C-alpha cells in the first residue's frame, strides 16, 4: 500500500465539494482530531505496531464482510506464511454499509459505497466462493454448500446477521446479504411509502421515497398533516442509531423543501429510551423536542397492511400485581395492546438475528447469537472458535467502529492460544462509536463502552451536534474503513 494512500482518498472526497471545505481546511481538521490521526498513523506503511508471529495452523474465516476480511488482512500481516481461508459467497460483501444512510439521505449515490470482495482479498489468502451450510465444532469441520467438508485448526465466525423482514406480518423474506436481489423483501419494501435503509437497494429507494413525500407535502392542502413514521424493533440491531439518522435526514430534507410544517414525524421505539447511554439519551430527547418530533416508547412493529398504509404496533407495559407473601413484594403483570397507525411514509428497521445456520448450530446459543467471552471474543465452549462483529453475543458492539477494536483483540488472543499460552493477553472493553447524523451538516459523535458512559476520543462535549463530526462521517470514515481496516492496519 502506498504511503498516505488513505489521506489521498479522504482529500479526493473533499475535492468533490470545494464549496464546503478546501484541502487546507481538511488537513487542519485531520491534524487536530486524535481519532483521525490514530487511524491515519495506523494505515501508513512502516508505522504499524503489528508484531510478527511464526505460529502454524489452518485458519478458516466464515464471512468476508468488513469484520472477516479485515481480520484476514491483519492476520496475514501478523503471521509469517499464514494459512488463511475466507468463505464468502457475496461478490460485494465488503461494500460500505455505513454509507447506506447517506445514500438514503441523498448525500451519496449507491455506486459510491459498492466494493468488490475480490478486490479486497489480501494477497495469499484463499477464498472459497460459497456458503457454510453446517458446523461441526466437535470435529473441527464445516461444510460448504452442503457438499464440501473443510477442516480447520482455528475458526473465526464473522457472518454478520439476517434482516428478518418476514417476522413482520404483511411483509416477507429475509436478507442475508445487502447487495443481492432480495426480491421477496422488495415486493413490499421500497415501494408505496414503505422504506428501509438496511440494504443497498432499500437505501436508494428510501431517497426516492423522501422525494415522493416532499412532492406529496407540496401538493397537500388538508388540515391534517402527512404522517412519517420511523421504527426500532425488539431485537438487537446493527448500528443502533440508524433508525434515528434517517429520521433526522428526512426532517432536514423537508425543511430544505419548505414543507416541514406539513409532515408529522413520529418515532416508535420498542425500548424505554432513545439511547442506552443516559447522557446521549438526554441529548437526543432535546434534539427531538427542538425539531418538533413526536415519539412513543414500548411500541414494537408487528404487522403491515401496505395497501391501506396501516402499521400495527404491539404497545406493551407492566402493571403492579398482587402482593407476594413469600417474596414480600408486589408481582408484575405484563400488559399489551395492538395499536394501528396510519402512515404516508414509513421507515422500517427490521428485527435482526443470526443466520439460522449459525444461530441454530452447536456454535450458536438459545438466543441465536454466537456466545463468546465478551472480553476475549473466544467461544465459551470451543476454545479454537472465535467470533466478532454483528453476530457475536456481546453487549452493544454491532458497529464498524466496534469491529476496529475487536479484530485486534481477537487476533492477539488467538495467536497467544495457538502459541500454547494459557493467559490471553488482550481484552475488548466494549468500545462502540455511533456518528449520529442529526442533520445535513451536523453529527453527534457518540462514543461509549461497557461502562455505559461517554468515552470521547476528542476533548469536546460528546453530546453536542457538530459540523466537524459531519466532515469525519462524510469524508474520512469511508476511506479509513475501506483502505485502513480492510488492509488490516487501522
Per-residue cell: 90:
457475496
Q: Strands 345-347 and 194-195: what pairing?
A: parallel
Q: Which three cell numbers stand for residue 294?
A: 413526536
Told to judge if 387 belongs to the known catalytic residues of this protein, a careful annotator would answer: no
**Grid cell 388538508 in the structure block, residue:** 222
**Under 8 Å between Cβ of 412 and 49:** no
The question of whether 434 is a catalytic residue gets the answer yes
Q: What is the dihedral of CA 437, 182, 484, 405, to 10 degrees?
A: 70
CA distances (Å), origin 268, targets 77, 347, 379, 409, 431: 45, 10, 35, 36, 27
Report yes or no: 376 and 391 within 8 Å, Cβ to Cβ.
Answer: no
Catalytic residue among 107, 269, 434, 483: 434
Q: How far apart are CA 136 and CA 25, in angstroms?
A: 54
The β-bridge partners of 267 are: 230, 295
Pair 364, 370: CB distance under 8 Å: yes
Phi first, then psi, for residue 236 (nearest 5°) are: -60, 145
DSSP 225: P
One of 107, 239, 249, 482 is an active-site residue; which one? 239
CA distance 270 to 280: 17
| Number of Cβ within a 10 Å radius of residue 323 | 10
Catalytic residues: 239, 434
Amino acid at each position: 500500500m502506498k504511503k498516505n494512500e488513505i489521506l489521498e482518498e479522504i482529500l479526493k472526497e473533499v475535492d468533490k465539494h470545494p464549496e464546503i471545505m478546501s484541502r487546507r481546511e481538511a488537513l487542519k481538521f485531520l491534524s487536530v482530531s486524535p481519532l483521525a490521526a490514530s487511524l491515519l498513523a495506523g494505515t501508513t506503511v512502516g508505522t504499524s505496531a503489528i508484531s510478527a508471529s511464526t505460529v502454524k495452523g489452518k485458519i478458516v474465516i466464515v464471512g468476508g464482510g468488513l469484520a472477516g476480511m479485515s481480520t484476514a488482512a491483519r492476520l496475514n500481516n501478523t503471521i509469517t506464511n499464514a494459512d488463511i481461508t475466507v468463505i464468502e459467497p457475496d461478490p460485494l460483501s465488503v461494500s460500505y454499509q455505513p454509507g447506506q444512510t447517506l445514500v438514503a439521505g441523498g448525500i451519496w449515490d449507491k455506486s459510491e459505497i459498492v466494493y468488490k470482495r475480490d478486490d479486497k482479498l489480501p494477497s495469499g489468502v484463499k477464498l472459497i466462493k460459497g456458503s457454510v451450510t453446517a458446523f461441526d465444532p466437535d470435529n473441527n469441520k464445516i461444510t460448504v454448500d452442503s457438499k464440501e467438508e473443510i477442516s480447520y485448526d482455528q475458526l473465526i465466525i464473522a457472518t454478520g446477521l439476517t434482516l428478518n423482514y418476514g417476522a413482520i406480518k404483511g411483509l416477507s423474506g429475509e436478507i442475508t446479504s445487502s447487495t443481492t436481489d432480495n426480491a421477496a423483501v422488495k415486493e413490499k419494501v421500497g415501494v408505496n411509502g414503505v422504506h428501509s435503509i438496511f440494504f443497498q437497494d432499500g437505501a436508494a429507494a428510501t431517497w426516492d421515497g423522501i422525494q415522493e413525500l416532499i412532492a406529496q407535502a407540496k401538493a397537500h392542502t388538508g388540515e391534517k398533516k402527512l404522517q412519517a413514521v420511523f421504527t426500532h424493533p425488539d431485537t438487537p440491531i446493527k448500528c443502533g442509531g440508524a433508525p434515528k439518522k434517517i429520521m433526522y435526514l428526512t426532517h432536514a430534507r423537508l425543511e430544505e423543501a419548505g414543507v416541514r410544517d406539513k409532515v408529522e414525524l413520529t418515532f416508535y421505539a420498542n425500548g424505554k429510551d432513545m439511547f442506552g447511554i443516559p447522557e446521549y439519551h438526554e441529548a437526543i430527547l432535546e434534539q427531538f423536542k427542538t425539531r418538533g418530533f413526536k415519539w412513543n416508547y414500548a411500541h414494537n412493529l408487528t404487522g403491515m397492511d401496505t395497501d391501506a398504509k396501516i402499521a400495527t404496533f404491539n404497545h406493551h407495559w407492566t402493571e403492579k400485581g398482587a402482593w407476594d407473601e413469600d417474596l414480600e413484594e408486589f408481582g408484575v403483570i405484563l400488559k399489551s395492546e395492538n395499536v394501528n397507525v396510519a402512515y404516508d411514509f414509513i421507515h422500517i428497521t427490521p428485527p435482526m438475528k443470526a443466520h439460522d445456520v449459525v444461530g441454530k448450530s452447536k456454535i450458536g446459543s438459545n438466543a441465536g447469537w454466537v456466545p463468546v467471552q465478551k472480553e476475549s471474543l473466544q467461544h465459551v465452549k470451543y476454545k479454537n472458535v472465535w467470533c466478532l462483529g454483528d453476530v457475536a453475543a456481546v453487549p452493544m458492539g454491532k458497529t464498524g467502529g466496534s469491529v476496529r477494536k475487536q479484530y485486534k483483540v481477537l487476533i492477539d488472543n488467538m495467536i497467544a492460544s495457538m502459541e500454547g499460552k494459557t493467559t490471553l493477553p488482550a481484552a475488548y472493553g466494549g468500545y462502540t462509536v455511533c456518528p449520529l447524523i442529526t442533520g445535513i451538516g451536523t453529527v453527534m459523535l457518540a462514543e461509549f463502552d461497557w461502562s455505559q458512559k461517554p468515552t470521547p476520543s476528542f476533548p469536546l462535549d460528546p453530546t453536542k451536534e457538530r459540523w466537524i463530526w459531519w466532515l469525519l462521517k462524510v469524508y474520512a470514515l469511508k476511506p479509513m474503513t475501506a483502505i485502513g481496516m480492510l488492509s488490516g492496519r487501522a
